[in-house]
Structures are given as C-alpha cells and as structure tokens.
Amino acid sequence: MSLEPRRGQCSLGVRDDCVMLRSMRVPGAVFLSCGLGLLMAASASAVPKPPPKFWSSTRCERVLLGVYARRGLPTGDGHHFGIAQAICVGSGGPHACRWTGHRSRLYAHFTVFTRSDLNGGVVRSWTLATRADSGLVPVARHAGDQYEGWPPDFHMSRVKLLATETSPARFRSIVAPLAARVTQQENASGCTGL
C-alpha cells in the first residue's frame, strides 16, 4: 500500500485542509448561484431611463394623444381630463431649446392647448416640461408600488380653462392666434442649443 496520494485524494498530512476545501464547495456554489440570480432580478426590474430632455412638438402631441387620450390626464389637484385634440408649441426661451442636426428645434418646455370631448368640448392651456421645475407637477402613466422610482413622463403646470362648448373647428380658431403668438416670441428669443 502506497502512502502517495492518488489523483483527487488528499495526502495524510493535509487531510484537514482538503476536507475544509470540499466543505466550502457547496456553500460557494450556493453563494454564486444566489448572486447571479440577484443580478438577473435586478436587471429585469431596473428603472427605465427618463424620457429625452428635449422633444419635438410632434412627440409632445403624440405622447398626449397616444397615452392620455384614453385614460385622461391627471392634474395637480387630483382631477383628470380627457384629450381629444392637442397642440404643443415649443416655449421657454433660449435655455429650453436646442437644434438638431437637421436644423429643426427640440424643446424642453411647451405651451400646450388641449380640447376634451367631455362637457361639449373644453379647451385648456398649460405648460409641459420634460424635466422637473418649480411649480410643476410630475405626470406618470404608471401607478403602484411596482413603479416606485420610475421617472415621470413629463411635468405640468396648473391648467387654465380657455373655453367651453367648443367644436374641433372652433378649437383650432381659438388656439391658432395663441399658438402663433407663442411661436413668434420663441423665434425672436433664439435658441442657445444647450
């Protein structure tokens, strides 16, 4: 009988070390499995990135009509209003816009005009901002504990009532001069391109 250890066996002098190494294999494998599982779970439930800081007027209208037309837009005071028509006009001055590579403007602030089909067509005006600002309320389409920490879709100011009992055609005639005035002011202010 040879005292030489065979491959995979421990020698007599280091038997305690070998037993200790073998006993660490199972907890090590369990620890590694748990760590990988936690990493996968954390990446699956990761908070999404906030929306882009600058939007086009078209994106603003698409978000409002695509998401909030069906469920209504929550206001800061706990009420909701539907959106059947929306017009977004970039505003906020030189610091709130930037140029794209195609020489068109993107904005971080918008003056928004909306018309609701409810109550005969109510026309409202408010400010939409893509980032938090003083006096603005965050608006998110998701609610519940599972969405804790998710960024809001946008922020909005208090809502101003402009008209009631308004048809789609009347909405356009009410909003057209107001939107033209905001656009003229914005074009005169320039765009710093931040």
Statement to judge: residues 20 and 78 lie in one domain: no
- Total of domains in the chain: 2
Q: Do 65 and 144 belong to one domain?
A: yes
Whether residue 106 sits in one domain with residue 20 = no
Token pair listed for 108: 């971080």
* Whether 93 and 181 share a structural domain: yes
Cα separation, 101 vs 121, whole angstroms: 39
Give residue-wise pLDDT tens across range 118-136: 878 999 999 999 988 888 8
Work out whether strand 137-139 and strand 97-99 pair parallel, antiparallel, or are unpaired: unpaired
pLDDT greater than 70 at residue 22: no
Residues 93 and 153 in one domain: yes
Residues 84 and 144 in one domain: yes
Three-point CA angle 102, 106, 110, nearest 5°: 155
Query: Would you call 48 helix, strand, or coil by DSSP?
Result: coil
In the block, tokens 């409002």 appear at 64
Q: Do 40 and 68 fall within a single domain?
A: no
CA-to-CA distance for 128 and 183, rounded, in angstroms? Answer: 15
Q: 114 and 85 in contact (C-beta within 8 Å)? A: yes
- At 43 the pLDDT is 47
User: Tokens for 168?
Assistant: 């789609």
Within-domain flag for 52: no
One domain for residues 104 and 175: yes
Whether residue 88 contacts residue 186, with contact meaning beta carbons closer than 8 Å, is answered with: no
Do 88 and 18 share a structural domain?
Answer: no
Residues 150 and 48: their CA atoms lie apart, in Å, by 7
Tell me which residue range forms the domain holding 146.
57-189
Q: Are residues 29 and 61 in the same domain?
A: no
pLDDT in tens, 34-44: 555 555 544 44
Among 53-57, 92-96, 101-105, 131-135, top mean pLDDT goes to 53-57
Predicted local confidence at residue 41, as pLDDT: 45
Regarding whether 132 and 89 lie in a shared domain, the answer is: yes
Q: Using alpha carbons only, how large is the chain's radius of gyration in Å?
A: 30
Do 32 and 125 reside in the same domain of the chain?
A: no
Contact 3, 12 (CB under 8 A): yes
Judged by DSSP in three states, 41 sits in: helix
- Burial class of residue 100, CB neighbours in 10 A (0-12, 13-18, 19+): exposed
pLDDT at 8 over 60: no
